[in-house]
Structure 1
Amino acid sequence: MKQRKFGAALSYINIIAKNLVNFLYTPFLLRFVGQSSYGLFQMTNSVMLSLSLLSMGFSSAYVKFYMSYKVKNDMKSIKKLNALYLIIFLFVSVLSLIIGILLVLNTDNLFGKTLNTAELQLTRSLMIIMVLDIAITFISTVFDSNITVNEQFIFQQSRQLFQTFLIPILCIPMVLMGVGVLSISITSITVTTLFLILNMSYCIRKLNMQFDFQNLPVQLFKELGAFSFFIFLNQVVDLVNNNAPNFILGMFRGAQLVATFSIAVQIKNMFFMLSTSLSSIFIPRVNELVNLKKSREVLTNLMIKVGRIQMTILFFVLGGFIVVGKYFVRLWAGPQNMEAYMLIILMVLPAIIPLSQNIGIEIQRALNKHIFRSVVYIIFALLNVVITVIGSVKIGLIGAAIGYVVSILGANGVLMNWYYAKKMHLNMKRYWIETLKVTFPFIFTTTTLMLVQYFSGSVNSMPQFFEFGVVYVLIYSVLYFVVTANSYEKSLLVGILKK
């Protein structure tokens, strides 16, 4: 319990730190490496992230199988699971290197139509470093998953907080020395290697992680593969939804629009971090409840409890962005990237549905009922790609986001909520009755302040930015605490304020 509480607190501190760093770091990079080079980095990163699919969903499988053995106190099986998992990810790491080399050799074929010779050479260099980085990350995943399943959230979040500050500390001097956008990739692989060593040391010395490579059960590998395959399909969908627009814009519109879209994605990813940072802490707990055969009512209660908190935080941040975000984007990313403001709102608003239901995904996986979700997501991912290609060619930036919105509303908003209710027997009617209550402060506060701006003029100075920001926080906070917060949430807030 202590690990979950402090881990949750550290995760939000980490998110605040990451975003503060990004808000300072991104304008610096745009200024010193240039809009085009930054766009090239984001485009290349989107391509190379496709290699993350090679993990095949084994990370989630590890948590499920580890918890099932832990409940039975079967340490022998845990050692064999660790060994099998290490072998799998060593193989995946080597495979990622091979595929990465093939991508590097085909750089001209992928981007030759929209990039000049110098840009192609830079892209090639970025890809080489990135593929090495990804290969090292796969090995680190083995130990990171062990830290998660043992609920060592304080160490995990503290390490990530250190990483947040270490990356710009290492990167900025290299950029100033003229290394350019390559500095980002060089810094990333340096930090990845450092934390691989740190993770290994912590798992083996502190958590006594052990491996038994003798007589590894073939049946366990089959079970891992069967469970992981459909999580792999989910990862394909996430990759398509999050990275396909960058790749498609790079192919049809060039690097500059990719930079603008990437800025919007950075803000959108902040909302994903706000959601997953809390739900990830409950992954071992969900698997424990399922293995202990707890009722659907208990699982629904957990989903509501976490969902209300997630939705409150997400709408709080989104409302603040709607009120003062236009000025923030102009100040942060420059007037050439103003379209990012509408892109962010367009992508984040429907995404709050799945982001507030992340615990539901973990319940699905723990119950081994994630096949339907995978199939539905694959269908909508393909639809997303088709709409994104047409939208990018015909409309541009906004068109590149339309496919994502359709995918989120159709797959998450409609079909997944139907599945939760009808096939998993979670009480989704009660879920929505309880969670929608927290939208009142968002609707009232955002609408009121936007009407004020409509009649008095938009935010266009730093004093106005702070004035509207402070007023928004005060009104939202009072309405939430007085009108919508339940007894558990009030006690949680009071406890945090006292500490």
Structure 2
Amino acid sequence: MSLGKHLLRGSGMNMLDLVVKTLAMFFVTPLLIRSLGQSGYGSWLLVMSVVGYFLMIDMGVSFSATRFLAVALGRRDSGRQGTILTACRQFYRMASLVVVVLTFGLMPLLPWLTSHPENISQLYFALGLTGCVTALRFYFRLPMIVLRAHVRYDLQAQASLCRVVLQATVMCWALTHGATVLHVAVIHSCGECVELGLQAFFSRKLDRHLRSDASVEETKATRSELFAYSRSIIAGSFGDSMRLQLNPFLIAQLQGVNHIPAYSVGTRLITILEDAVNALFGGQLLSAFGQLHGADEPDKLRSQYLRVTHITSGFSAAAMAGVVFLAGPFLQSWVGESLASAHLVLMILSVPYVIHFMQFPAYNLLYTVGKTHWIVWLCFIGGLCSAALSLVLGLRYGMIGVVLGSGIEMFISRGLVMAWFVHRCTGISAAFYLFGHVLWPGFKGALFPTLFAWATFRFVTPDYSAILLFAAGYGAVFFLSFPWMVMDGSARRLIWKHLPVVGSRGASA
């Protein structure tokens, strides 16, 4: 199979994986809240937050190893391939041991982190089990790296799909039969093991020719290369984790674990939208910008960047407006009145996040022109400022203060500071770029869908059929108005050319 087919199949399977994960989340979350209670579900979310920090021990090696292994594959250098895998194998064995030590080392702190919940004995077991499974994920990390380096994201997505479907099915059955946090941890861990086994099965034919007896010097030099390439990823990931992953711990200490579910549910819809925007306007733009930058065509690069930014801004604004309108009735149908504050969490974060989504192409621009360190410092310093603001405002206003702290920091860093970064790269005034190329296209993209929502929203009730009907009408208005409100003539012609109906008519004519 050609590289292009691998890319297309991988993109399609990744989108299917995202859709299935979203549907599974919609079905499982209400059952978790009803079965475990708000306090039990909040405690489980804290355990997952701890495990999320364990994943940072990867230190960006997965990303850099995939890149180096792919280059070695392209050069057909089997010796280099084996050396990379040997260096990774040694690192991940050590990483798995570190995770096990941290898991049992953090257990004495668990009562303090969770504010002494009633089910503390079950949480000990949940943390120990999920921590050990995380260690296994590191120990058996090589199959995932091999699949990615061979551009077999489709196989990786298939493993993830099997895990999600199996996990969600068993979880729904168990929760309807009185499952506890202990049962949830067992089901979650078994699902992770299934995915690891499938990755190993899919990669067995790809990595059998990649092993070699690398010398100690070669392995050490390769390990240094991997860490040098991933150093920037470490700082950026740490900064990002100080925003959303730290907030559940702050909320637990300030107001108790029973408030964490409202925060988690309120941010869930935004993170789903972020995944969708990233799938549409994320890393695939990097190659296109890179070609223009490599051809030394700065004017064309700038014009293409601004065109893509207009489209991204219009889509993101319309999508977020739809989420804001539907959030109230949807959350009421999904999780009930007990988590009413989740709607307020979403409303607070909607503005800073939509500005962040609008400027997704800016990250690819900075990577293209070699300004990676700007993104690293933006994430790192922004994360520290977010943690400080959330703590200060949380002491005053509780959970809402924690959310406000994250929102204020994101508005400044991902909105104002990012606009200044673009000014430094393109020469366009930061104010003109922000208002003329980000906010104005966003306003135009959301105008007609918002007018439709304003006129029909009073008919929407907390009923899934009414919500789906409203969403269908909103989407229809968006797709009919977006090409004329946001896209220029050349972009519209490109769309018409690749639409099957239009293309067939053009061919018959």
Return the TM-score normalized by structure 2.
0.84
**Number of paired residues?**
493
Question: Offset of 1:55 from its aligned partner?
Answer: 0.9
In 2, Cα distance between equivalents of 1:415 and 1:180? 45
Query: What residue in structure 2 maps to residue 175 of structure 1?
Result: 175
In 1, Cα distance between equivalents of 2:204 and 2:467? 49
Unmatched segments (≥5 aa) in structure 2: 505-509
The structure 1 residue matched to 2:232, chosen from 230, 233, 239, is 230
Contact 1:241 1:404 in 2 (8 A): yes
Question: Offset of 1:473 from its aligned partner?
Answer: 1.7
Contact 1:300 1:427 in 2 (8 A): no
Q: Which amino acid aligns with 2:214?
A: Q
Contact 1:11 1:278 in 2 (8 A): no
Contact 1:286 1:366 in 2 (8 A): no
Query: What residue in structure 2 maps to residue 245 of structure 1?
Result: 247
Mapping for residues 102-141 of structure 1, pairs under 5 Å: 102-111=105-114, 114-116=115-117, 118-141=118-141
Query: What residue in structure 1 maps to residue 212 of structure 2?
Result: 212
Moved more, 88-97 or 56-65: 56-65
Q: Which amino acid aligns with 2:180?
A: G
In 2, Cα distance between equivalents of 1:65 and 1:357? 29
In 1, Cα distance between equivalents of 2:303 and 2:158? 29
In 2, Cα distance between equivalents of 1:6 and 1:492? 22
Mapping for residues 69-108 of structure 1, pairs under 5 Å: 69-70=72-73, 72-108=75-111
2:467 paired with 1:465: yes
Query: What residue in structure 1 maps to residue 275 of structure 2?
Result: 273
Contact 2:441 2:486 in 1 (8 A): yes
In 1, Cα distance between equivalents of 2:291 and 2:48? 38
In 1, Cα distance between equivalents of 2:289 and 2:81? 15
In 2, Cα distance between equivalents of 1:27 and 1:296? 52
Superimposed CA distance per residue, residues 120-154 of structure 1 (whole angstroms, 9 cap, x where no aligned partner): 22322221122112112223443323322322232
Mapping for residues 322-401 of structure 1, pairs under 5 Å: 322-358=324-360, 360-361=362-363, 369-401=371-403
The structure 1 residue matched to 2:492, chosen from 460, 481, 487, is 487
Mapping for residues 33-44 of structure 1, pairs under 5 Å: 33-44=36-47
Partner of 1:179, secondary structure, is coil
Moved more, 168-177 or 261-270: 168-177
Mapping for residues 14-93 of structure 1, pairs under 5 Å: 14-70=17-73, 72-93=75-96
In 2, Cα distance between equivalents of 1:148 and 1:492? 32
Q: Which amino acid aligns with 1:494?
A: L
Question: Offset of 1:87 from its aligned partner?
Answer: 1.8
Superimposed CA distance per residue, residues 34-86 of structure 1 (whole angstroms, 9 cap, x where no aligned partner): 22111111122112211111111112222443354455554432331222122
Question: Offset of 1:417 from its aligned partner?
Answer: 3.9
Contact 1:230 1:374 in 2 (8 A): yes
Partner of 1:205, secondary structure, is coil
Query: What residue in structure 2 maps to residue 13 of structure 1?
Result: 16
In 1, Cα distance between equivalents of 2:87 and 2:304? 32
Moved more, 90-99 or 209-218: 209-218
Partner of 1:106, secondary structure, is helix
Superimposed CA distance per residue, residues 368-422 of structure 1 (whole angstroms, 9 cap, x where no aligned partner): 6422322232222122112112222322332121121122222222333433452
Superimposed CA distance per residue, residues 83-126 of structure 1 (whole angstroms, 9 cap, x where no aligned partner): 21222122111111111110113323434xx324x332232222
In 1, Cα distance between equivalents of 2:267 and 2:503? 36
Moved more, 91-100 or 302-311: 302-311
Superimposed CA distance per residue, residues 217-257 of structure 1 (whole angstroms, 9 cap, x where no aligned partner): 43332232222222111111221112111110011111111
Superimposed CA distance per residue, residues 203-229 of structure 1 (whole angstroms, 9 cap, x where no aligned partner): 231465613341224333223222222
In 2, Cα distance between equivalents of 1:488 and 1:276? 24
Moved more, 132-141 or 473-482: 132-141
Mapping for residues 380-459 of structure 1, pairs under 5 Å: 380-422=382-424, 437=441, 439-450=443-454, 453=457, 459=461
In 1, Cα distance between equivalents of 2:122 and 2:301? 50
Query: What residue in structure 2 maps to residue 143 of structure 1?
Result: 143
Q: Identify if the C-alpha distance between structure 1 residues 420 and 339 changes in structure 2 by more than 3 Å, giving closer, same or farther.
A: same
Q: Identify if the C-alpha distance between structure 1 residues 309 and 171 changes in structure 2 by more than 3 Å, giving closer, same or farther.
A: farther
Q: Which amino acid aligns with 2:116?
A: L
Q: Which amino acid aligns with 2:121?
A: Q
Q: Which amino acid aligns with 2:101?
A: I
Mapping for residues 277-296 of structure 1, pairs under 5 Å: 277-278=279-280, 282=284, 285=287, 293-295=294-296
Same amino acid, percent of matched pairs:
14
Unmatched segments (≥5 aa) in structure 1: none
Contact 2:320 2:354 in 1 (8 A): no
In 2, Cα distance between equivalents of 1:62 and 1:227? 9
Contact 1:54 1:92 in 2 (8 A): yes
Contact 1:286 1:363 in 2 (8 A): no
Mapping for residues 303-322 of structure 1, pairs under 5 Å: 311=313, 313-322=315-324
Q: Identify if the C-alpha distance between structure 1 residues 69 and 150 changes in structure 2 by more than 3 Å, giving closer, same or farther.
A: same
In 1, Cα distance between equivalents of 2:39 and 2:318? 33
Question: Offset of 1:431 from its aligned partner?
Answer: 10
Q: Identify if the C-alpha distance between structure 1 residues 382 and 121 changes in structure 2 by more than 3 Å, giving closer, same or farther.
A: same
Contact 1:7 1:281 in 2 (8 A): no
Q: Which amino acid aligns with 1:243?
A: Q
Question: Offset of 1:161 from its aligned partner?
Answer: 2.7
Q: Identify if the C-alpha distance between structure 1 residues 464 and 68 changes in structure 2 by more than 3 Å, giving closer, same or farther.
A: closer
Contact 2:38 2:258 in 1 (8 A): yes
Contact 2:20 2:161 in 1 (8 A): yes
